[in-house]
Amino acid sequence: LIFDINLSFYAHITKVTKTAFFHLHNITKIRYCLSKAEAETLIHAFVSSRLDYCNVLFYGLPRCVALKSIRVQNAAARVLTKTRKFDTITPCIIATSLTSCLCAM
């Protein structure tokens, strides 16, 4: 957990999202040879667990800060369901078990 002067956790969220996108990029490279259950396990292990860590501290932060984490969640749902970038994401998130992420935001 990275603290800053204003306790906005902006640096922490930036680092977590950067790391999560790195792992999502690597999972995307091997997604074609993984089943949906295996991909979901990897996403939960490397992405969702990082987003869920201390997310209760993010409650009440400005929406612009929370959007970074929401983008990671949307990208994880796209990787898991093999959805294209410009397709709507809401049905994908509902269809996956990624809905537990970021409930506090």
Work out the pLDDT band at 23, boundaries 50, 70, 90: very high
Residue 99's pLDDT is what?
52
In this structure, what is the dihedral angle of CA atoms 11, 14, 19, 23, given to the nearest 10 degrees?
Answer: 160
SS3 state of residue 43: helix
CA-CA distance, 102 to 77, in Å (whole number)? 13
N-to-C CA span, the chain: 17
CA-CA distance, 89 to 83, in Å (whole number)? 8
Global pTM reads: 0.78
pLDDT, tens digit, 9 for 90 and up, residues 34-80? 998 999 899 999 988 888 877 777 777 778 877 888 888 889 988 98
Residue 3's pLDDT is what?
66
DSSP tag of 48: I
DSSP tag of 44: I
Residue 102's pLDDT is what?
43
